[in-house]
Amino acid sequence: MFKQMRLTSWRNAVCGQVAVPLRVVLWNGQQLDFSHQVPKVTVHVPKPSALRYLLSPSLYNLGSAYVEGFIDVKGRAADMIAVVNTLAAATLRQRGLLARAVGKFIHTREKDAAAVRYHYDVSNEFYQAWLDPAMLYSCAYFENGDEDLATAQRKKIDHILAKIDLRPGQRLLDIGCGWGGLAIRAAQQHGVQVLGVTLSKNQHALARERVRQAGLQKLVEIRLQDYRDVGGAFDRITSVGMFEHVGVRHLGAYFGKIRELLTADGIAMNHGITTTDTGERGTPYDGGKFIHRYVFPHGELAHLGTVVRAMQEGGLEVRDVENLRRHYARTCALWTENFESNAARIGTLTDARRFRIWHVYLAGCSYAFQHDWISLYQIVCGKAGGAPVMPWSRRAMYAGPLGRQP
């Protein structure tokens, strides 16, 4: 009874600030609505002990309760995320608990490899169920804003290849090559030699098969290899959605390795997620804590200023920076729609716990990008002090083959 009284008191306090399209259904059948709106989200609380998650509604607490099955939540993922953030803002801020916890992790080769495999080696079929046909698991590029996901992902690759001024006969290294989408298109469209490296066994196997199916074995090599073990010299280097795994303290060494692998007049491009918090304390309401535990173990986000400084420390000169935050918000929203549209099939490809993790994670990322908690930058760079061979203006970056069909 006391816990129900606390719940009612908390509900009244929240409703005094904001209308939330939420219904809470208790173990005894009692229902509490948080507004006069038709509920978009329904939370079922199976026993009194689970009320503690609602009464301290951080993104970690409620996300963890949902993932672990301590509460049941019905509704679209985007609505679930919006409701949770509204509850957190109405409750935690007034208590002075705008949590921004972040950890600095110890990175070793073994831990990095294990973290990558935890995230990416769910199954290739799992990712195929909600990614575009080329299986590009990174921010798409919406040139006009109305492209479908497959078109926007193809344009992302073409945008990157135009930015690095890729030319026939060059050697390209793709760090964190995923399922080989960029490597394959680079070889097909530009006739370059490509080496792609990944730590994911599933990605490695499928990427090699896709290269074989495309008949590109003479141009594209896919290795199961740590980028730190790559040798040789490359005219161009791309790293798309990988450096979030490196660790903030290791960024200088990471960019130093890229510099070591670049030819004297080489060009590199780093495409990655950053935090917008200048103190690098993570996202509000313990959203980062949820991601560290359930999604990206040991993942760390640096601020753009930290990235630029680390590039300089690694011997690289920044030559172009583009913010694609809005593009990633839209990408994650489309992934979420695909995930929910294919929920029945995805449910057969993984266990219920992991299904719930991804259900809220994708929508949560879209929300975080929309609200400028995190961002996405493409940074073009080359060896510091060198003589850039890039065009004098940015015109080539936007006059490239963005509309070219595969």
Distances (CA, A) of 292 to 112, 160, 278, 289, 297: 13, 29, 19, 5, 5
Tokens of 9: 């008191």
Residue of 177, 332, 365, 381 marked active site: 365
15 is catalytic: no
- C-alpha dihedral, 274 to 279 to 285 to 289, nearest 10°: 60
The amino acid occupying position 74 is: K
Handedness of CA 159, 160, 163, 167 (dihedral sign): negative
Each as own residue / partner, the long-range contacts of residues 88-97 (CB below 8 Å, 24 or more positions apart, any chain) are: 88/57, 88/58, 88/59, 88/284, 88/285, 89/18, 89/285, 90/13, 90/14, 90/17, 90/18, 90/20, 91/10, 91/13, 91/14, 91/56, 91/57, 92/56, 92/57, 92/58, 92/285, 97/58
CA separation for the pair 115, 119 (Å, rounded): 6
Reduced to 3 states (helix: H, G, I; strand: E, B; else coil), residue 35 is: coil
Residues with a known catalytic role: 365
